[in-house]
Amino acid sequence: MSVHSLYLSKSQNAAFLYRATFGSTLDDVTHLQNIGVQQWFEEQSQLPPSYHLPVVQQATAIAIANLDKPNSTIRTGAWYQHALTAPDQLRQRMAYALSQILVISQQGLGNRHDEIAAYYDLLVQHSLGNFKDLLRDVTTNPMMGRYLTLRGSRKANPKKNSFPDENYAREVMQLFTLGLWRLNNRGEALLDSNGQKIPTYQQDDVQELARVLTGWTGGSLHVPMYGKEKFHDYDEKVVLGQTFPAGQNTQQDLEQAIEVLFNHPNTPPFIANLLIKRFVTSNPRPEYIERVAQTFINNGMGVRGDLKATLFAILTDEDALNSIGSQGNQSPQQQHNHFGLIKEPILMITNQAKALGMSTIGDYWRDFMSSSRTLGQSPLNSETVFNFYLPDFAPQGILEERGLTSPEASLLTTYQMQMIHNKIVQNIESHKNKKSTQWRYDITPFLAVHQDPDAYTQLINERIFLGLMPARVHQQIVEALTLHIPLKQDLRRVKTTLYIAFTAPEFFTQEALA
């Protein structure tokens, strides 16, 4: 069957939507099943983008009118609003993944909430577009310019001991495009004659690229930085073996730099690996990475860097659909399929909120989740440019021994797990919330069927697991209803069983739902 007419099984459709959205309903699964994956992709890509800045500005105006002090909870609230209610779920989900690669953070930018929201909208705008356009606009964005200090970088003045800022030049290669080590298209490190990994770039490349990017300054909410030519280095430069002729202005040097990075052989497998890890599995097989990298190189119509085609390849790859993961460094006799990922806390919470049907009580959405404190992460608020976690993080023990990774596990400390569980309970209790700063959900559908274990478990299965509830969880819920909690204790029956469902290991991972 051609991938362009791909129709999946009901369980595959449910797993697909877990990966492609912030949370879905059984109606969404049925819709996908009716129209097929290709049509669903086209439908999603044709929806108008849901931008964050207008929501932030509207909420700020309401807050000021109510004599409240606007703060970052408004920007994060706008993020949750779109994650939970925006029709363009695929675009929003991709923008979030890109925000963890092309990182800026409030922790380095302060209370520039509108400007940070505008940067996120840049990711939304390009999320299903072309990576080259995205990279160019990110480079000249004033928030990126401030965060990685490209803004105001000037040509060298040895008399004043002043030299171009190297920060962005280094990170755009290390984190945004190439990575540290030369790769083949399978994402495997290339080795020199001594069996050592080959660096992708040298310090000379960082210094030369920093010279290339001198002269950028200014910019505002909707206006990118502009080149101030008197601060630009017009001499010849050489970056990654490519010569930048003398006499080129800021824009010309920028365009050539983008071309060099965009067309570098490392960029396709590097970006493919990062995106697969964000959407599908922490341990993709080299064959999976290669197929996605090839789509990045050529979308089938001769176009390089097509993010929509790349994401389609990620979500419809045979490894994704058949739950096939890397074997790590195990011998053939010890092979075990390591597929899936631990949900990062913010995705686990959006899955819970979507399953419950949570919504804001007030005139605008706030960060009811207290994300940074409770979840250990908040959109565009990581501690460093390296994101909330490293893509190759492996917890000590069996995963590390097998050469496998679990990036999200670095967030799940004992303290953070306690905070997350507390928030799960608070969300279950939110049905009785009344304050305008809070969210709540309607508990009555659960109360209506709690006396019928079959009907109740069917509802839990549909709302929380999209029809994929594990038998073990089903049995625990049935036992709680039939053996442990009296019929007359209706609220306790519902809340206890919701807690069982939302704290099940299978809910915390994407693997068991695939």
Are 177 and 260 in contact, with CB atoms under 8 Å apart?
no
Residue 514 has pLDDT above 50, yes or no: no
CA-closest candidate to residue 292, choices 261, 263, 271, 262 = 271
* pLDDT mean over 486-494: 96
More confident residue, 215 or 11: 215
Position 244 scores a pLDDT of 99
Using the predicted structure, report yes or no on whether residue 386 has a pLDDT greater than 60.
yes
User: Is pLDDT above 80 for 512?
Assistant: no
Query: What pLDDT does residue 336 have?
Result: 54
- The percent of residues above 90 in pLDDT, for the chain, comes to 89
Calculate the alpha carbon distances from 72 to 130, 267, 481 in Å: 30, 34, 42
pLDDT at 333 (0 to 100):
45
Q: Is the pLDDT of residue 7 over 90?
A: no
- Kindly indicate the confidence band of residue 1, based on its pLDDT and cuts at 50, 70 and 90: very low
Q: What's the CA gap between 20 and 94, in Å, rounded?
A: 8
List % helix, strand, coil for the chain (3-state, nearest 5): 55, 5, 40
pLDDT of residue 196: 98
Position 335 scores a pLDDT of 47
| Burial profile 468-505: b = 16 or more Cβ within 10 angstroms, e = fewer | bbbeebbebbeebbeeebeeeebeebbbbbbebbbebe
Beta bridge partners of 198: none
* Rounded Cα gap, residues 159 and 174, in angstroms: 31
| Mean pLDDT, the chain, whole residue set | 94
Per-residue pLDDT tens digits for 295-312: 999 999 999 999 999 999
- Contact predicate 334/169, CB 8 Å: no
Q: Which of 75-84, 172-181, 194-203, 363-372 has the lowest mean pLDDT?
A: 363-372
How much is the average pLDDT of 55-76?
91
Six token digits for residue 196: 């050592």
Indicate the range of 62-71, 211-220, 311-320, 485-494 predicted with least confidence. 62-71
Q: What's the pLDDT score for residue 328?
A: 74
What is the distance of C-alpha 408 from the center of its chain? 11
With a cut of 80, say whether residue 334 has pLDDT above it. no
pLDDT at residue 124 above 50?
A: yes
Average pLDDT over residues 373-386: 96
pLDDT at 330: 64
More confident residue, 52 or 323: 52
Lowest model confidence (mean pLDDT) among 76-80, 341-345, 395-399: 395-399
pLDDT at 427: 97
Q: Are 58 and 78 in contact (CB under 8 A)?
A: no
- DSSP run (H or E) holding 298: none
The reported pLDDT for the residue numbered 2 is 43
Place of tokens 């209506």: 448
Helix axes 10-20, 26-35, angle to 10 degrees: 110
The pLDDT value recorded for residue 77 is: 97
pLDDT of residue 325: 86
222-279: per-residue pLDDT in tens? 899 999 999 999 999 999 999 999 999 999 999 999 999 999 999 999 999 999 999 9
Tokens encoding 395: 């917890």
- In 3D space, the residue among 166, 84, 169, 82 whose CA is nearest the CA of residue 127 turns out to be 82
Cα separation, 303 vs 196, whole angstroms: 34
Burial of residue 425 (number of CB atoms within 10 Å: 0-12, 13-18, 19+): middle
Where is average pLDDT lowest: 248-252, 267-271, 387-391, 397-401? Answer: 397-401
What Rg value do the Cα atoms of the chain yield, rounded? 24
* Cα distances (angstroms) measured from residue 380 to each of 37, 91, 156, 165, 456: 30, 17, 32, 23, 38
In the prediction, which pLDDT does 287 show?
97
Domains in the chain: boundaries: 3-130+265-334, 158-260, 345-508
The pLDDT value recorded for residue 259 is 99
Q: How far apart are CA 393 and CA 411, in angstroms?
A: 11
Calpha distance 442→460 (Å, rounded): 14
